[in-house]
Amino acid sequence: MRRHRTSRVLLSVLALVVSLVWAFPVYWMLNSAFLPNVVLQSTTPTFVPFGGSLRNFSAVVDDPAFLRALGVSLVVTLTTVVAAIVVAFFGALAISRFRFRGRSSFVLALLLIQMLPAEGLFIAQYKMMSSLGLLNHALGLAVLYTAAVVPFTIWMLRGFVAGVPAELEEAAMVDGLSRTQAFLRITFPLLAPGLVASGVYAFLQAWNEFTVALVVMTAEDSRTLPLWLRGFVQASATRETDWGQVMAASTLVAVPVIVFFLVVQGRMSSGLVGGAVKG
Partner 1 sequence: MSSRSSRRLPYLLTLPTLVLLLAALGYPVAWQLVTSLRRYGLMQQFGAPAPWVGVDNYVALVTDPSLWTVVVRSVVFCVVTALVSVVVGGLIALLMDAVPRWARLVLQVCLLVAWAMPIVAAMTVWVWLVDWRRGVLNWLLVEVGVESAYGHNWLAQPTSFFVIASAIVVWMSVPFIALSVYAGLTQLSPDVLEAAQLDGAGWFRRLRHIVLPLVAPVISIVLLLQLIWDLRVFTQIKILQDAGSVASETDLLGTYVYRLGTGTGDFGTASAVSVLMLVLTIALSWYYVRSLMAQES
Contact set for partner 1, span 118-177 (CB under 8 A): 118-128, 143-144, 146-148, 150-151, 154-155
- Tell me if 72 contacts partner 1 by CB under 8 A: no
Among the listed ranges 54-62, 63-71, 111-119, 188-196, the one in contact with partner 1 (CB under 8 A) is: 111-119
Q: How far is the CB of 130 from partner 1 (least distance, A)?
A: 10
Helix axes 243-273, 188-208, angle to 10 degrees: 140
* Type of residue found at 234: Q
Q: How far is the CB of 276 from partner 1 (least distance, A)?
A: 5
Among the listed ranges 51-59, 64-72, 189-197, 254-262, the one in contact with partner 1 (CB under 8 A) is: 254-262
Q: What length is written for the chain?
A: 279
Which of 67, 112, 139, 171 is the binder for partner 1 (CB under 8 A)? Answer: 112
Question: Three-state SS string across 44-59, please?
Answer: CCCCCCCCCCCHHHHH
Q: How many CB atoms lie within 10 A of CB 254?
A: 17
Q: How far is the CB of 60 from partner 1 (least distance, A)?
A: 13
- Tell me if 246 contacts partner 1 by CB under 8 A: yes
Indicate the DSSP class of residue 276.
S
**Distance between CA atoms of residues 110 and 91, nearest Å:** 10
- Tell me if 277 contacts partner 1 by CB under 8 A: yes
Among the listed ranges 58-66, 89-97, 182-190, 191-199, the one in contact with partner 1 (CB under 8 A) is: 89-97
**Distance between CA atoms of residues 159 and 150, nearest Å:** 15
Nearer to partner 1, 50 or 245 (CB): 245
- How is the chain split among helix, strand and coil, in percent rounded to 5? 80, 0, 20
Chain positions 178 to 237 lying near partner 1, rule: CB under 8 A, are 178-179, 207-208, 210-211, 214-215, 226, 229-230, 232-234, 236-237
Q: How far is the CB of 44 from partner 1 (least distance, A)?
A: 7
Cα angle: 87, vertex 91, 96; to 5 degrees: 150
Q: Which of 184, 178, 156, 182 is nearest to 169 (CA)?
A: 182
**Distance between CA atoms of residues 56 and 70, nearest Å:** 17
Nearer to partner 1, 14 or 166 (CB): 14
Judged by DSSP in three states, 6 sits in helix
- Tell me if 86 contacts partner 1 by CB under 8 A: yes
Among the listed ranges 19-27, 49-57, 164-172, 184-192, the one in contact with partner 1 (CB under 8 A) is: 19-27
